[in-house]
């Protein structure tokens, strides 16, 4: 049994309060012998929306340009300018939605500049991200084309910070109206007859910061106004998402919940907006020096994982605020920016937020998903930031050769895809005392979650071993249904900082986990150090 204590004090604005060194308190449920993960296979809970596995693509660095979009004349195989290899890789993940065009960029973006012949489109300055000139060659039609190629759903983020109510109202009409209305006619002039389906629309972004530096009540009033004019045209029903809190600003969530008129609007849905967002990023240092993506020691490893675990606490506490106003959970919480944020890779543009992605990032993702599964009753959607070449990406592309690399985080999404739209199962951890303490917070070195697909007769268990250097044997204590078969997969690397490159694309890649044995309570599993694993169970 191991207990670690990491006491490095307060490490920045996002850090939990440091309480210094103190002995670990006895943990409820501690047992001798291997840890147990107790799962009642016959007690399904809330549905884990597939939208918790959502994505985010901003006009930032090489996410859109060079990442998704290379233009028709590129030597890189593409369909109407959109990279074929990126589309294929993301289709394999079954990505449920894609948020666009920002982020901070959304509140600078005027959609009419991105329609019509490309050579006629006005240019603009992307002031947030590198202060570069944006030529608007990727606009509404290109985005919706991407959505269709990916087989996903559109989450369009509107502009409150520098836009107008009319601009947002016109955009949803342009996108979703079928008849000969002015905006539908304009869309047709630009080559698209049929309306698109747009189920999600963001009412601005980070209104407390880059989206206008507003006070909560001021933004709440604007959100009511803007959302009113985001109409449901024809069959298209929009979930309007108000720009929510930064990290632990519970007063912001409170202000937005107060701004909801009634929980039973005209169509039985809450209004004028139906969901509220939340943003939280994981880093190992303070904002000014977030830490290196690849050069880190044990201390940064555990601190990072401790901060990733904090995401669940944030969801729980924002949900508690929402519960007071909305006990039946009609208003959704949308965690539409999460993931790691490191110092940029040396030698790259600081405004482009390009970073490598290691086994540590993989564990940050798996810990978020465990928390998301446990709060599936309130969480409507979550979007990792961002899909290609920016922050905690699924895919990295080489700017010179165009080579594509799948990151460890991509593999966590792939291995976890079976949780999408499945029913959450409680996974109770009975842990021997194997806990790190980071900045005054206990960090159990094992994390787990599970879900059930009753229709298929299968369950999926996710397991993360947070220990940097020790394997972990645990028992899956499986109750309520007979298990007739299993298949286990593991993701790890030679070190905690292992990552994939064009030269070594599979340094971190899923492999069969063979260290699984029958046990009187179910299965005994040994996880390698710093690893994520899934176990698919076949049920009688």
- CA distance between the termini of the chain: 36
Find, among 453, 401, 452, the residue nearest to 426 by Cα.
Answer: 452
C-alpha distances in angstroms, 27 versus 4, 31, 168, 464? 15, 9, 51, 19
Segment near ligand AHR (CB under 6 A), from 21-29, 100-108, 182-190, 249-257?
A: 100-108
**Subset of 49-68 contacting ligand AHR (CB under 6 A):** 58
DSSP-assigned states of every residue in 471-524: -EEEEEEEESS-EEEEEEEEE--SSTT-B--SSSTTSS--EE---EEEETTEEE
Q: Least CB distance from residue 426 to ligand AHR, whole Å?
A: 32
Nearer to ligand AHR, 138 or 196 (CB): 138
Work out the angle at residue 384's Cα, subtended by the Cα atoms of residues 380 and 387, and round it to the nearest 5 degrees. Answer: 130
Position among 14, 39, 48, 104 found at the interface with ligand AHR (CB under 6 A): 104
Measure the CA–CA gap between 439 and 487, rounded to whole angstroms. Answer: 37
Nearer to ligand AHR, 55 or 192 (CB): 55
Measure the CA–CA gap between 488 and 465, rounded to whole angstroms. Answer: 14
Q: Does residue 148 come out as left (phi exceeding 0), alpha (psi in the -120 to 50 range) or beta? A: alpha
Nearer to ligand AHR, 103 or 244 (CB): 103
Measure the CA–CA gap between 198 and 202, rounded to whole angstroms. Answer: 11
Task: Note the helical H segments in 292-355.
Answer: 298-325
Q: Least CB distance from residue 5 to ligand AHR, whole Å?
A: 33
Q: Least CB distance from residue 431 to ligand AHR, whole Å?
A: 34
**Subset of 202-241 contacting ligand AHR (CB under 6 A):** 205-206
Segment near ligand AHR (CB under 6 A), from 131-139, 195-203, 312-320, 384-392?
A: 384-392
C-alpha distances in angstroms, 338 versus 206, 381, 382? 13, 11, 8
Q: Does 387 bind ligand AHR (CB under 6 A)?
A: no
Q: Least CB distance from residue 80 to ligand AHR, whole Å?
A: 26
**419 DSSP assignment:** G
Nearer to ligand AHR, 247 or 483 (CB): 247
Residues designated catalytic: 206, 337
**Number of residues engaging ligand AHR in binding (CB under 6 A):** 10
Nearer to ligand AHR, 86 or 104 (CB): 104
Position among 108, 145, 170, 337 found at the interface with ligand AHR (CB under 6 A): 337
Q: Least CB distance from residue 330 to ligand AHR, whole Å?
A: 26
* Closest residue by beta carbon to ligand AHR: 103
Position among 89, 222, 321, 385 found at the interface with ligand AHR (CB under 6 A): 385
Measure the CA–CA gap between 408 and 388, rounded to whole angstroms. Answer: 13
* Residue window 30-49: x/- pattern of binding to ligand AHR, with contact defined by CB under 6 A: --------------------
Find, among 448, 416, 442, 414, the residue nearest to 429 by Cα.
Answer: 448
Nearer to ligand AHR, 125 or 494 (CB): 125
Using DSSP, state whether 464 is helix, strand or coil. strand
Segment near ligand AHR (CB under 6 A), from 186-194, 360-368, 383-391, 411-419?
A: 383-391
Confirm if 493 and 359 have CB atoms less than 8 A apart.
Answer: yes
Find, among 301, 298, 299, 296, the residue nearest to 367 by Cα.
Answer: 301
Position among 101, 103, 195, 204 found at the interface with ligand AHR (CB under 6 A): 103
Q: Least CB distance from residue 385 to ligand AHR, whole Å?
A: 4
Q: Least CB distance from residue 340 to ligand AHR, whole Å?
A: 11
* Residue window 166-205: x/- pattern of binding to ligand AHR, with contact defined by CB under 6 A: ---------------------------------------x
- Which residues fall within 8 angstroms of residue 117, CB to CB, at 6 or more apart? none
Measure the CA–CA gap between 95 and 414, rounded to whole angstroms. Answer: 10
Nearer to ligand AHR, 336 or 434 (CB): 336
Q: Least CB distance from residue 247 to ligand AHR, whole Å?
A: 11
**Subset of 454-473 contacting ligand AHR (CB under 6 A):** none
Using DSSP, state whether 282 is helix, strand or coil. strand
Number of neighbours of residue 132 by Cβ within 10 angstroms:
15
Q: Least CB distance from residue 128 to ligand AHR, whole Å?
A: 6
For the chain, how are helix, strand and coil distributed in percent, rounded to 5?
25, 30, 45
DSSP-assigned states of every residue in 107-121: GG--GGGGSS-GGGP
**528 DSSP assignment:** P
**376 DSSP assignment:** T
Segment near ligand AHR (CB under 6 A), from 101-109, 269-277, 317-325, 467-475?
A: 101-109
Q: Give the tokens for residue 68.
A: 């998704």
Nearer to ligand AHR, 192 or 290 (CB): 290
Position among 102, 161, 163, 408 found at the interface with ligand AHR (CB under 6 A): 102
Q: Least CB distance from residue 15 to ligand AHR, whole Å?
A: 18
Nearer to ligand AHR, 56 or 372 (CB): 56
Binding site for ligand AHR (CB under 6 A): 58, 102-104, 205-206, 337, 385-386, 391
């Amino acid at each position: 049994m191991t207990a670690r204590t990491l006491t490095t004090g307060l490490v920045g604005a996002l850090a939990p309060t440091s309480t210094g060194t103190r002995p670990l308190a006895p943990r409820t449920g501690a047992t001798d012998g291997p840890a147990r993960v107790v799962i009642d296979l016959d007690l399904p809970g809330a549905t884990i929306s597939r939208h918790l596995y959502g994505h985010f693509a901003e006009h930032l660095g090489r996410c859109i340009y060079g990442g998704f979009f290379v233009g028709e004349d590129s030597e890189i195989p593409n369909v109407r300018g959109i990279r074929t290899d990126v589309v294929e890789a993301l289709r394999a993940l079954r990505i449920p939605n894609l948020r666009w065009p920002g982020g901070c960029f959304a509140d600078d973006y005027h959609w009419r500049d991105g329609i019509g012949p490309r050579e006629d489109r006005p240019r603009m300055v992307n002031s947030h991200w590198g202060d570069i000139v944006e030529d608007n060659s990727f606009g509404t039609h290109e985005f919706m084309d991407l959505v269709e190629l990916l087989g996903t759903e559109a989450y369009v983020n509107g502009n409150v910070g520098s836009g107008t109510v009319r601009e947002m109202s016109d955009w949803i009409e342009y996108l979703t109206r079928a008849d000969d209305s002015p905006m539908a006619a304009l869309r047709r002039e630009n080559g698209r007859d049929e309306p698109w389906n747009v189920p999600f629309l963001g009412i601005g972004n980070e209104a407390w910061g880059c989206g206008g530096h507003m006070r909560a009540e001021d933004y709440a009033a604007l959100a009511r106004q803007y959302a009113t004019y985001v109409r449901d045209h024809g069959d298209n029903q929009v979930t309007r998402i108000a720009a929510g809190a930064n990290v632990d600003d519970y007063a912001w969530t409170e202000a937005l919940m107060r701004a909801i008129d009634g929980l039973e609007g005209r169509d039985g849905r809450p209004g004028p907006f139906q969901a509220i967002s939340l943003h939280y990023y994981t880093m190992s240092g303070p904002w000014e020096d977030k830490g290196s993506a690849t050069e880190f020691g044990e201390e940064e490893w555990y601190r990072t994982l401790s901060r990733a675990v904090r995401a669940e606490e944030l969801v729980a506490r924002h949900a508690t605020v929402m519960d007071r106003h909305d006990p039946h959970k009609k208003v959704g919480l949308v965690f539409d920016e999460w993931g790691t944020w490191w110092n940029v890779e040396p030698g790259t543009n600081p405004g482009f937020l390009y970073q490598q992605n290691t086994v540590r990032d993989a564990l940050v993702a798996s810990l978020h998903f465990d928390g998301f599964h446990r709060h599936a009753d309130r969480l409507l959607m979550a979007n990792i930031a961002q899909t290609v070449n920016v922050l905690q990406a699924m895919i990295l592309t080489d700017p010179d050769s165009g080579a594509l690399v799948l990151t460890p985080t991509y593999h966590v999404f792939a291995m976890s895809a079976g949780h999408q739209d499945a029913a959450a199962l409680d996974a109770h951890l009975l842990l021997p005392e194997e806990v790190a303490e980071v900045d005054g917070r206990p960090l159990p070195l094992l994390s787990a979650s599970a879900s059930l697909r009753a229709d298929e007769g299968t369950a999926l268990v996710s397991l993360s071993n947070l220990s940097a250097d020790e394997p972990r044997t645990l028992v899956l204590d499986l109750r309520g249904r007979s298990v007739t078969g299993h298949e286990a997969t593991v993701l790890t690397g030679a070190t905690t900082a292992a990552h994939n490159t064009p030269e070594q694309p599979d340094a971190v890649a899923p492999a069969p986990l063979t260290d699984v044995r029958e046990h009187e309570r179910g299965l005994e599993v040994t996880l390698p150090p710093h690893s994520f694993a899934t176990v698919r169970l076949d049920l009688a």
